[in-house]
A and B are shown apart, each in its own frame.
Chain A
């Protein structure tokens, strides 16, 4: 059976509820917000724009920027060249060449670990896939270079990240599960006053325990 749509005539209601005060003062109430905002801008209380690159926006704690390879306590890579990241990678931008590690308890390490930053889509699947917390992400966004070769980041570049203190760590869902460490000291990121605030409703803790229901048959 076809339902007949209910018709609501708004014009009648608007006419009924309208008043002189609403007609005239209403816009003024709205304008007051605009004026207050304008005064803040003019007086320099908040910035509508930021002076990039001297200033940068503070990105969320879960921002997926350029990758970091974490290290063991002795400074060697945590990565065991298991290819989980390369398997999960939808852009096929990770190239790994494993080698025999002298310690039989570690057994395997990456002799080469290259990420083609131009191919990378920064989806963070590699971080999710990593069983060793060996690959995490930073908040770094500036992956510029004069040649294509420079955008192919090798294991050295991915581990020792001189620019990291400036940007800080990004997406790292399993930080509390393993004792990985980053090879650089992070400094406190200066807070910038911005137009509008970034508020995060959810944080990394909420997505940590993703469980899979296996097919029951």
Chain B
């Protein structure tokens, strides 16, 4: 544990830590382009030069390991002059086309120019070395060679993280440019990450291209709903529309990366139409719109009648592995405490088996639900029943009369999805009385006795438990669409329908109740579920 001094402040660094890492931990910002915490050190941009006592020249902070007694200065005139010079060189051939550049507003060139540069450009636009613009690099990336500062982050990402090695430098001197061989598209499953790690506007997103200027966006911290890995993401939205998903750095789960499927998963939320109000199947079998309070009261009384008439075993609860822990907890509590139901299931397609199964070596897993482990921990599996197939046959045989079913379509599509949805539809058709909670409309929902609109992934605050049992907090980006409500709130209303329980008014309260009553979640505070999340025993 070497002790060193930075800007007069004595700090203890960890063994093997570089100056830039140690400085970041105590909040000293050292400008950099090529350094990235999850990529190998390259030291080519020369922006992170710092003054180290008894070293003859300025030294790059990203490539210098802290040693005992080192005295570092990051803000004296010598360093500032050097950084200003480096920045001026980086901007020599920069086209300054910020008005059309999607990076504007989150561009390191802009940021550092305002802090360190503020010089007048000596090179008029006509004298600059022009390179190629708007190069199509596949479905995720657009390349502009002029804006590049040649930091090689993207090259190192493709070489060391995905191991595909598509990107490389071409040319010499002023004419060096980033590119792929013969402009072949960047088609690995993680190509969107090069856009995030590009500190300037050289690599920009194909999907987000010209959609919105970044300063209009509001960010909400969330967890990707695309698979059971549960990568930390930020949902960037404006006026009720999601514009992009960006990875948040979580060293324990996804580092700084996010797969392309997960990145694009928010488009699934806006495909198809949403259910906007509760619907009840009338006497003629036609679903008609109804008010929430009436629907809640009628569901509660009808389910109680069923439980009284046919025994508590006649009610089944089908949870969803895409619902939050809070929703599933109240779902189970309502059915088991109020109605005495003992039959619960959430598996539509072997989620428990596939929850930790890897799809590739980096992040993706074959189970495309964010909360399969959470559903398992809450005990939503019934070994006797024989999965949803068993539930269908039991319903056909008349052993199960009523069911409460949560169905949320997976955000990342896989060929088995339609079959899984068909099984849910079949169960709904076989039941005498069915309450379906869903976000998006589907044809089979007309068979449901009651259809309740619930919030989609981006509209509900809660926690998800990933494949390794890591509970992670996901915030709410948008307000629930139309008349839909978060699923936890629907069950809180059902629990309060008798007027016997004070009820839960926020997801925090639900989490607290869950931490009290579920053994797996015991003694876990909600604040612990924030980055990087808390792991429970699997």
Contacts and interface: CB of A to CB of B under 8 A. Distances in A.
B118 A107 contact: no
A80 interface: yes
Interface in A73-112: 80-84, 87, 98-100, 104-108
A108 B99 CA distance: 9
A47 interface: no
A87 B100 contact: no
Contacts of A104: 132-134
A132 interface: yes
Interface in B91-142: 97-100, 104, 114, 118, 132-134
Given A104-B133, A107-B134, A83 B100 contact: no
A107 B104 CA distance: 15
A89 to B, nearest CB: 12
Contact of B99 (A100, A105, A131, A214): A131
Interface of A is mostly: loop
B210 interface: yes
A98 B213 CA distance: 11
A13 B104 CA distance: 70
A132 B99 contact: yes
B181 interface: no
A108 B213 contact: no
Interface residues of A, number: 17
A106 B97 CA distance: 9
Interface string B198-228: 0000000000011001011000000000000
A106 B210 CA distance: 13
Contacts of A83: 213, 216
A99 B210 contact: yes
A84 B210 contact: no
Contacts of B98: 82, 131
Contacts of A98: 210
Contacts of B97: 107
A65 B116 CA distance: 40
A87 B100 CA distance: 14
Contacts of B134: 104, 107
A61 B349 CA distance: 73
A174 B435 CA distance: 65
A80 B100 contact: yes
A100 B98 CA distance: 16
B210 A108 contact: yes
Contact of B210 (A81, A87, A132, A214): A81
Nearest to A134: B99
A105 B133 contact: yes
Q: Which of B114, B118, B133, B210 has the most CB of A within 10 A?
A: B210
Contact of B133 (A84, A107, A214): A107
B372 to A, nearest CB: 41
A108 B132 CA distance: 16
Interface string B12-55: 00000000000000000000000000000000000000000000
Nearest to A102: B134
B263 to A, nearest CB: 21
A135 to B, nearest CB: 12
Given A98-B210, A99-B210, A107-B133, A84 B99 contact: yes
Contact of A214 (B100, B114, B213): B114
A214 B117 CA distance: 11
Nearest to B133: A104
B215 A87 contact: yes
Nearest to B209: A100
A99 B100 CA distance: 11
A83 B100 CA distance: 9
Contact of A100 (B104, B114, B210): B210
24 contacts: A80-B99, A81-B100, A81-B210, A82-B98, A82-B99, A82-B104, A82-B213, A83-B213, A87-B215, A87-B216, A98-B210, A100-B209, A100-B210, A104-B132, A104-B133, A106-B100, A107-B97, A107-B133, A108-B99, A108-B210, A131-B98, A131-B99, A214-B114, A214-B118
Interface of A: 80-84, 87, 98-100, 104-108, 131-132, 214
Given A80-B100, A83-B213, 19 more contacts: A80-B99, A82-B99, A82-B100, A84-B99, A87-B216, A100-B209, A100-B210, A104-B132, A104-B133, A104-B134, A105-B133, A106-B100, A107-B100, A107-B133, A107-B134, A108-B99, A131-B99, A214-B114, A214-B118
Interface of B: 97-100, 104, 114, 118, 132-134, 209-210, 213, 215-216
Shortest 3 CB-CB distances between A and B: which pairs? A82-B99, A104-B134, A104-B133
